[in-house]
C-alpha cells in the first residue's frame, strides 16, 4: 500500500522541523548555488527575484508530462514563477524571466495542492521549485494535515544544493531533474552557471540515494524514484553521450530517462547562432543511439509527434 513520504514526516514531527529550518534559510538565502545571501523575509530579493512569498504562474492537471506521471488523471502541476537558472533559450520564458504569475500565501498554495488531488491528479508536480522550497514545505504541512496523500514530484532544472535536497529527504517521493549540460563553457554562456555540470551531478547522486530508480504501481503510474530529463540541443551542445555515460556509470543503468526532442529557439535564443534553430531528426536519433550505447535503455517512449524535424 503506497504512502507518501511526507505523511510519515508529518506523523513523526520531522516535517515541522524541516519547515522551520527552511524558513530560517530565507533570512540569509542560500537555497541554491547562487548563494545570494539576501534577507527574503524582509523583502530583499536575489537572482530569482522572489521574496518571502512564492509566486505561481499556473496550476492544473498536465497531460503532456512523461507517461508514468500522467496516467489517466494527469500530473498536478504547479508552475512557480522565476527560476534559479534563467536559460537564454527557456521555453517558459514569460514565467521564468518575465515573472508572469501571482503571489500566493501558505493557505492558497496548500489549497492548490488539495484541489489538484480532488481533480484526480496522480501527483503534485512542483515545477521549478528550487528557489521556493521553504514556501512549499510550509504549505505542504497544512495540505498534509487536510488530507493530501498523493506523491510529490520535485521537477527541477537540476541546479540544486545537496544541503537543500537532504532537507527534502523523507518528503519528496519523485525527483525529476533536468540534466542540461555537461560542459562548463556551454553552461556559462547559456545559463550563466559555469558550475552547473558539477552541481547537477552531485544533485542527481543525492536524489538517487534518497529515492532510487523509478518505481511504478500496477497501473504503470510512478510512485517513487528518479526520472531524468535530457534536452537534445543543436550540434550536441548538451553532450548527450557524456550525460548518458554519467547516468549509467555513476547513478544506475536502470535510470528512467526522457531524451527530449522538442528544442526550438525561444526567449533570447536567436541571439546565439548555435541555438537559433530546432534540433534535426538526425541529431535526435543520434542522441537516442548514444543513450542506448552507453547502457541507458529505460527511455520514455512517447514519440516526438509535435516536432517538425528539419
Q: What is the predicted pLDDT for the residue at 306?
A: 47
Cα–Cα–Cα angle for 284, 194, 152, rounded to 5 degrees: 65
Name the burial class of residue 242, with classes exposed (0-12), middle (13-18) and buried (19+) by CB atoms within 10 angstroms of its CB: middle
Q: What percent of the chain has pLDDT over 90?
A: 96
Longest dimension (CA), the chain: 55
Query: Taking 70 as the threshold, does the pLDDT of residue 36 lie above it?
Result: yes
Q: What is the pLDDT of residues 140-161, one digit of tens each?
A: 999 999 999 999 999 999 999 9
Query: H helices of 26-127, where?
Result: 67-70, 93-96, 106-118
Q: What is the predicted pLDDT for the residue at 59?
A: 98
Q: What is the predicted pLDDT for the residue at 301?
A: 82
> pTM to 2 decimals?
0.96
Domain ranges of the chain: 54-293
**Strand segments (E) across 137-221:** 152-156, 174-177, 215-216
- At 81, the pLDDT band (50, 70, 90 cuts) reads very high
Q: What is the pLDDT of residues 215-251, one digit of tens each?
A: 999 999 999 999 999 999 999 999 999 999 999 999 9
Give how far Cα 97 sits from Cα of 45, 55, 83, 90, 177, Å.
14, 13, 7, 9, 20
- Asked if residues 304 and 281 have their Cβ atoms less than 8 Å apart, the reply is no
Domain boundaries 54-293, corresponding CATH code: 3.20.20.70
**What is the rounded average pLDDT of the residues 180-209?**
98
Q: What is the predicted pLDDT for the residue at 302?
A: 67
Amino acid at each position: 500500500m503506497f504512502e507518501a513520504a511526507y505523511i510519515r514526516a508529518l506523523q513523526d514531527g520531522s516535517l515541522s522541523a524541516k519547515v522551520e529550518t527552511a524558513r530560517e534559510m530565507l533570512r540569509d538565502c542560500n537555497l541554491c548555488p547562487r548563494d545570494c545571501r539576501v534577507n527574503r523575509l524582509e523583502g530583499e530579493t536575489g537572482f530569482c527575484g522572489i521574496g518571502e512569498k512564492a509566486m505561481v504562474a499556473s496550476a492544473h492537471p498536465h497531460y503532456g508530462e512523461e507517461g508514468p506521471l500522467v496516467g489517466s488523471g494527469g500530473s498536478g502541476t504547479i508552475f512557480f514563477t522565476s527560476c534559479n537558472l534563467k536559460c537564454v533559450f527557456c521555453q517558459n520564458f514569460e514565467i521564468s524571466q518575465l515573472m508572469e504569475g501571482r503571489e500566493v500565501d501558505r493557505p492558497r498554495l496548500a489549497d492548490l495542492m488539495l484541489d489538484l488531488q480532488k481533480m484526480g491528479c496522480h501527483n503534485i508536480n512542483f515545477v521549478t521549485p528550487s528557489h521556493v522550497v521553504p514556501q512549499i514545505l510550509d504549505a505542504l504541512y497544512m495540505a498534509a494535515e487536510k488530507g493530501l496523500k498523493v506523491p510529490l514530484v520535485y521537477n527541477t532544472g537540476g541546479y540544486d544544493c545537496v544541503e537543500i535536497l537532504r532537507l527534502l529527504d523523507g518528503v519528496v517521493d519523485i525527483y525529476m531533474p533536468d540534466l542540461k549540460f555537461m560542459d562548463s563553457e556551454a553552461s556559462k554562456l547559456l545559463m550563466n552557471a559555469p558550475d552547473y555540470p558539477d552541481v547537477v551531478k552531485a544533485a542527481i547522486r543525492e536524489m538517487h540515494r534518497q529515492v532510487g530508480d523509478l518505481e511504478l504501481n500496477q497501473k504503470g503510474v510512478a510512485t517513487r524514484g528518479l526520472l531524468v530529463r535530457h534536452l537534445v540541443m543543436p550540434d550536441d551542445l548538451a553532450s548527450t553521450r557524456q550525460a548518458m555515460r554519467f547516468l549509467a556509470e555513476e547513478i544506475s543503468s536502470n535510470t528512467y530517462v526522457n531524451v527530449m526532442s522538442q528544442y526550438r529557439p525561444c526567449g533570447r535564443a536567436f541571439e546565439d547562432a548555435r541555438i537559433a534553430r530546432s534540433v534535426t531528426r538526425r541529431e535526435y536519433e543520434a542522441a537516442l543511439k548514444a543513450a542506448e550505447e552507453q547502457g541507458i535503455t529505460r527511455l520514455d517512449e512517447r514519440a516526438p509527434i509535435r516536432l517538425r524535424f528539419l
